[in-house]
Structure formats: structure tokens, C-alpha cells
Amino acid sequence: MPDRPDIRVVPADAARYPTLLQLQVHELQRDFVGPIAVSLADAAQCEGSEAMAILCDDEPIGFYRIEKQARSIADRDFERPTLGLRSFFIDARWQGQGLGTRALAAVMRDLAQRHPAARDVVLTVNVRNTPALALYRRAGFRETGELYHGGRSGPQHVMLGALPL
């Protein structure tokens, strides 16, 4: 593998499902990231939700969903046009290599290109999930000061990141 593998994001089409379904997080992270099979099924049912694959040199290494209605993430409206990010994760086998930060940069570039009217991305991260909180901060997200209490594993920080212009 090259020193700087190509990290890109693509829609999770049905042809990728078998490989995507093999992705998982470490056991300690399962409180914060639901099973990918559930997320794929939910995305297929929810209008405005798009399942996405994170690729490293064309191999799926992660997953996330984009929500066109940011209210579905934090249960509130936002001043600027905002997209929602949910279920972001890097497969356990690929963690610890700096790929999460690079993947988030690819996500933000992709969103800015495909959704030019959007200005921000909102996400929630469990208050106990300190590695994810650090990752999102490194990627330029900031806490809004609000907590979202709708998660299955306790309160979550609401974070906003500006899309590149």
C-alpha cells in the first residue's frame, strides 16, 4: 500500500453491500455506532438519507450517512443550510492509521461539491466517546454547547463543521 493511499467517498450502491456488511467497529465502540445492516436498511427507507462508503484505494474501509434534513440529527433547525452526518465510522481493522481525519476531509469536499447550497454539517457524538470527539475537532467541527438527549447510549454533543467553499 502506498504511503498516502487514496481516500474517497462514494454512494453505497447495492453492489457494495456485501463488502460493507463486513465492516465493524471495536466492541467498545458498539454503544456509539449501530450495526451497519440497520443503518443501510434505514437509509433505504428514509427519504433524504444517503448511505455512503469510504474507500481506501477502492476497498471499503468505512461508512456514513448523509441526511438532507439536519433536523433529523439534532431535532432543531439551523440558521444556515445544513446537512446531517450520522453513523460515521472506520472499520476496526483500519483504525489508528489517521484515515478517519482524511476520510472526514473527503466527506466535506464531497458534500460541498454535491450539495453546493449547503454551508454546514451537523453531527452528534456521545459525551463518552472521547476518541470520536477528538477526531471531529481535528476535522474542524466545533461543539455548539448543546446536548442532544435522543441517543440510545446517553447524551451527545451537537457539533457543527463548515463546508469548504
42-45: long-range contacts, CB 8 A cutoff, minimum separation 24? 43/12
Distance CA 40, CA 27 (A): 20
DSSP of 74-111? HSS--SS-EEEEEEEEE-GGGTTSSHHHHHHHHHHHHH
Enter the pTM of the model. 0.92
pLDDT of residue 84: 97
Q: Which regions of the chain are under pLDDT 50?
A: 1-2
pLDDT of residue 3: 65
CATH class of the region 7-162? alpha beta
Bridge partners, residue 89, by sequence:
63
pLDDT of residue 85: 97
